Amino acid sequence: MENLVVVLVTAPAGEPGLELARGLVALGVCACVNVVPGVTSVYRWQGEICEEGEVLLVIKTTTAGVQRLEQAVLKAHPYDTPEFVVMDPVHVEGKYAAWVLGEVEA
């Protein structure tokens, strides 16, 4: 059975993050993207500690759509190594799950 999954992706704050979200929905690889502003990411990159203002994209798609979504993110994302974390929700309200499943193109 097809399931809904949630994917987390960080992106640059402002228009780049919104543009990425809009593009993913337009491609049909996800039903919805919540763009959460005000994220500060602290991370190690090439031996340096970095701190960046970002947005968090909370993406709703299907298990079958994950591969297409990942390919679309990797192609369009401005980072060399974007975050892409897939999570299985414990419970999703039925009508919402049906909507997501109906919106993601196989």
Rounded CA-CA distance 77/72 in Å is 8
Rg of the chain's alpha carbons, rounded to an integer? 14
pTM of the model: 0.94
Quickly state the pLDDT bin for 54 (edges 50, 70, 90).
very high
Rounded CA-CA distance 89/92 in Å is 7
CA separation, residue 41 to residues 16, 53, 100 (Å): 16, 6, 29
Provide mean pLDDT across the span 46-64.
97
Mean pLDDT, all residues of the chain: 95
Q: Are 2 and 84 a contacting pair, CB within 8 Å?
A: no
Decide: helix, strand or coil at residue 7: strand
Per-residue pLDDT reduced to its tens digit, 62-85: 999 999 999 999 999 999 999 999
Give bridge partners of residue 86 from the DSSP assignment. 7
Q: Where are the domains of the chain?
A: 4-103
Residue-level pLDDT at 105: 87
Quick one: what percent of the chain has pLDDT higher than 70?
98
CATH architecture designation of domain 4-103:
2-Layer Sandwich (3.30)
